[in-house]
Amino acid sequence: MTNINIPEVDLYSDGWANPNPGIWWYGIILSYKGIKKEFYQGFELTTNNRMELLWVITWLSKLKTRSKVQVYTDSQYTINGIQKWWAEKWKQNNWYRTKTEKAVNFDLWETLLELTEKHQVSFTWVKWHNWHIENERCDELATLSMSMDVILVDENYIPNESEKQKTIWSLDRNQNTEKIIQVLWKWDPSLKVEKDGDLCRKCLTPVIKKIPKHTKKTLLKRFYYKYYFNCPWCKTNYMTNEAKDDVKNLKI
């Protein structure tokens, strides 16, 4: 027998990653019987698509009873994945899009499918920044999340090589640079600056090889550097063992 008293809930969200992949901020509004709850959060390294799925999952998971949920989102990726049965087909194929290619974000799609079976969920597309009241408020909340001291880790997100390079070269150095770089170096902390064009470990700018100006004071040392690498952005210098030479070989 159908429960005619099933709760009706509206969910709204907006957010962005900068760069993408990069740090993600989002704002969420949950509306029930005219009462609205607001929430905002940041993730240190993830993608737009993962977060569009995750915010829906997060709030559907918070509903304690079976509910009729209307999700308002500007993410065609999320809507099409459910309404066009993409996710269901991937699940039937053991989460493969093709015979050799695994579906992207399958960990989140699997959870979302489970929740859409638990609740009556429908999706409505909202055009981004089209003066939709709740959408605009979510955008304001996402901006607030940029000032948070603690942001979360998307533990299941593992960037592939193309995503790493995309993040490095699209990095906005005027905003949240330090935090993004700290996360980027978790990909391979063993990387060193050893040649012209390698990325600076502080700001990811390609370094430039330079020849130092030696003086007579250099002769008082046991060795000298034939060259070093300089970051034109943050001015950090990098010395390598390969550039070391015995002072007796130095000609001034």
Q: How far apart are CA 176 and CA 56, in angstroms?
A: 26
CB 69 within 8 A of CB 60: yes
DSSP tag of 190? T
> Do residues 69 and 122 touch, judged by C-beta distance below 8 A?
yes
68-73 and 223-225 beta bridge pairing: unpaired
* Amino acid of residue 47: T
Question: What count of other Cβ atoms lies within 10 Å of the Cβ of residue 3?
Answer: 9
Q: Three-state DSSP class for 97? A: coil
Q: Are 71 and 63 in contact (CB under 8 A)?
A: no
User: Virtual CA dihedral for 77, 78, 79, 85, nearest 10 degrees?
Assistant: 90
Residues with active-site annotation: 14-15, 52, 74, 129, 139
Separation between Cα atoms, residue 144 and residue 166, nearest integer Å = 26
